[in-house]
Structures are given as C-alpha cells and as structure tokens.
A and B are shown apart, each in its own frame.
Chain A
Amino acid sequence: MGPIIPLFEISEEINLLIAFLIGLGFGFALEQAGFSSSRKLAGMFYGYDITVLKVFFTAAITAMLGLLFMNYLGMIDMSIVYVNDYFMSSAIIGGIIMGAGFIIGGFCPGTSVCAAAIGKIDAMYFIGGSLIGILLFGQTYPLWEKLHNAQHLGSLKLSDSIGVSDGILGLLVIAAAVVMFWVGEMAERRFKREDINNEI
C-alpha cells in the first residue's frame, strides 16, 4: 500500500482544491460545535464550558492515531511529513499573546472567521484587530527579528526530545487527554453558569 494521496503526482491546483474542501468542512464543524460564539471560548477560561478543550484534543488524538496506524500499515511516509520548526522563545511569547487574545477577544483566528461568516460583529472587529496586528508586526519586523529567530531547535518532535517512541508518546497524550476531559467535566459542573450554558 502506498501513500493515500501521492503528493508529487497531483498538481498544485488539485492540492489547493483539496485544502479548500477540507477548509470548508473545518469551518462547518466549528460552526456546528457552537464555536462561533465567543462565550464558548471564554467558557474554557472560566470553567463553565470545556468544549474547546475536548474538540482540540479529540482532533489531535484522531490525527495522531491516524498517523501512527497509517504509518504502521505503510500508507504514509512519515519522513516527508512536515514538522514545524521550533523557536522556543517565540513559541512561549506567542503562546502568551495568543492566550491573552483568546480570552480578551473570545475567538481564535479560525473561529473568528466562522463567526464573521454568520454575521457576528464582534468577530469582524476581532479579524480587523488581528490584521492590524499582523501589519504592525510585519512593518516593525526588524525590531523583533532577533527575538523571533532566537533558540531555534529545528524540526523537533516531543517524542524525540524526551526519547520515547511515537507510539508511547501517543499513549501518554491520550492518557493526559482522558484525565483532562474528566477533570474538565467536573469543573463544568462546579462553575456552571445557567444563564450562559442555556444560551450557547
């Protein structure tokens, strides 16, 4: 069995078309899950709704298990799967900014587009804000360049850096996710907000 989609045998256009279709599905799923309400994301912070955690961890686990099993069956070549470069300082600083943006704005970049598509005005402001941020960052890039490229660790995988196999790391992630789901649901009961939970 070869790769499911032979990447080098399909044209760039078909590739983009596939990406477009996957994007449509992603947006639809986000909207269906209620992510176009900023209160859903804020719920993660206040503890009354942990859907975000569940969705993203389920997505990660599905993709992870899919890759592990397909690799075992010889359907995917992991050596050409792109792994993002890891810049430690920018990851930490960016993570803090992104997290603050999540709770202040109530959207993540993806859900803001979903919400804007169904006419949420706060989401449109959110997108405007992110675009201004991108523009400012781009225009003042020379100021940040050093920080941006600091502590470059290459295409690092967590399993390699802690020295376990991909499968064992997968098991650890699943265990962590299951524990988080249970703890999260306990939090949901504890911090219940009837007024909001009924609306979203």
Chain B
Amino acid sequence: MRIRFVLSIVLVCLGLVAAILPQTKNSSMELDAQQLLNEIQLENYVISVDEMANALINNDPEYQLIDLRPEADFKAYSLPGSLNIPFDSLFSETWVPYIDQIARKNVFYSNGTTLASEAWMLTKQKGYKNNYILNGGLNNWFATIIEPKEPASTDGEEAFFQYEARLGMKQFFTGAGAVSSSSSKQVKKPVPRKKKKMVAGGCS
C-alpha cells in the first residue's frame, strides 16, 4: 500500500509543478537574427517590376500581389489583381492564411519599399515561406512601367528591347497608345555602304 501512496503523491506533485509552470511558446520555425541576416544577404526575395508586369499580362497564377497600404490608398490606385492587406492588420486572423501558405508567391508592395521590406522581414521571421517584395514598390512601378524612360542613344541594344517591352506593358496597363518603335532614337546599325561601282562607262 505504501508504494501506492508514494506514487500517487509524486504524480500529484508533478501535476502541481506542471500547473504552475508558465506556458511558453516555442517556435522552431522562426528564424533568429543570424538566419534572417543570411536570408537578407541572399537577396532572392525581390521580384523586379518587369517580371511582375510580365506575370500580370500573362495572367500567371503563380503570383499574388499584396498591397500593404491603407485601404483608402488601395481604392485610389492599386495594381491589377492585388489584395489589400493593410500593414497594421498583416497578422490578423483573416490574413494570416494568405501570407502563410505554400501555393503561390506573395509579392508585397507599398509606395516605396519600406513597408514591404518590414512585412517581408516579419513574415520571414515567423517562418512563413513564399513571400517576396516588389522591387522599388509602386514608385518604381510608375517610373519603369507607366513612364518608362527612353534609353540614351548610347545604350546597348538590350536597353532598347527592354524599353519597347515596357512601352508595350504601359499600353497594357494604361491603355495609352504605345509609341511606335520608329520614333525611338536608337542608333541604327550602320549599314555598310555599298561599294561604289567603278565608274563604268564607255564601252568597257
């Protein structure tokens, strides 16, 4: 009988200790500072505006744009197909399933990159995957896609191809008439002059 008493008391004591222990939360999925730094240095969390524009034009279902600005700003202007998750409600119950998922690539954007970077850091720290940042945010979107700058005439061919692609994208997103490529000041490849024919005349 004695052993039963001892065992019962030991069990209850263990239970008492368990009951007064504070409930801690361990998250093995969360990254510590060093791991986060490594992730930042890898720099594979940005998506360029050109890539994004291409994806939007092709209706690529892989990407989900997420607008972090307040609702009023979102209503005033937003990228097509984007979802408005105001920064301050990022971790609310409604939105967590959207940012903690494995199906699509979430692309955060705000006016600049500050909000998006902060959101990315926070989600990364939480261990959420598949979140990216739109490089340069809406400002860069306007500067690159909506008002593309003409490359300098000394730029290489690449720059001109890109410019023309951006003009096409601009037309897609704004409906503005694309400027025909003929008006660009691209340096035409010098056409080799035909060799002058020898003066031909006479009866040679």
Within 8 Å of chain A (Cβ to Cβ): is B200? no
Within 8 Å of chain B (Cβ to Cβ): is A91? no
Given A68-B21, A178-B8, A182-B8; A171-B15 close (CB under 8 Å): yes
| Inter-chain pairs besides A64-B18, A68-B21, A78-B26, 19 sampled, C-beta below 8 Å | A68-B18, A71-B23, A79-B29, A165-B19, A166-B23, A167-B18, A167-B19, A167-B21, A168-B19, A171-B12, A171-B16, A171-B19, A173-B15, A174-B12, A175-B15, A177-B11, A178-B11, A181-B4, A185-B4
Count of A-B contacts with CB under 8 A?
A: 67
In the bound complex, residues from chain B placing their C-beta under 8 Å from that of A170 are: 15, 18-19
Q: Is B20's CB under 8 angstroms from A65's CB?
A: no
Interface size class, chain B: 10 to 19
Q: Map CB proximity to A onto B1-36 as digits: 1 under 8 Å, 0 otherwise.
A: 000100010011011101111111111110000000
Given A72-B22, A165-B23; A174-B28 close (CB under 8 Å): no
In the bound complex, residues from chain B placing their C-beta under 8 Å from that of A76 are: 26
> What are 8 A-B pairs with beta-carbon distances under 8 A?
A2-B28, A71-B26, A72-B22, A74-B26, A79-B26, A170-B15, A170-B19, A173-B15
Q: Report the minimal beta-carbon distance from B101 to chain A, rounded to whole angstroms.
A: 16
Main secondary structure of the interface of A (DSSP, over half): helix
**Chain B interface residues toward A at CB < 8 A:** 4, 8, 11-12, 14-16, 18-29
Q: What are the 9 tightest A-B residue pairs by CB atom distance, in nearest-first order? A: A174-B15, A171-B15, A77-B28, A171-B19, A167-B19, A68-B18, A167-B18, A170-B18, A77-B26
Name the residue among A3, A61, A166, A174 with the largest chain B CB count within 10 angstroms. A174
In the bound complex, residues from chain A placing their C-beta under 8 Å from that of B28 are: 2-3, 6, 77, 80
Q: Is A178's CB under 8 angstroms from B25's CB?
A: no
Q: Is A178's CB under 8 angstroms from B29's CB?
A: no
Q: Is B12's CB under 8 angstroms from A178's CB?
A: yes
Q: Is B26's CB under 8 angstroms from A61's CB?
A: no
Given A68-B21, A168-B19; A174-B11 close (CB under 8 Å): yes
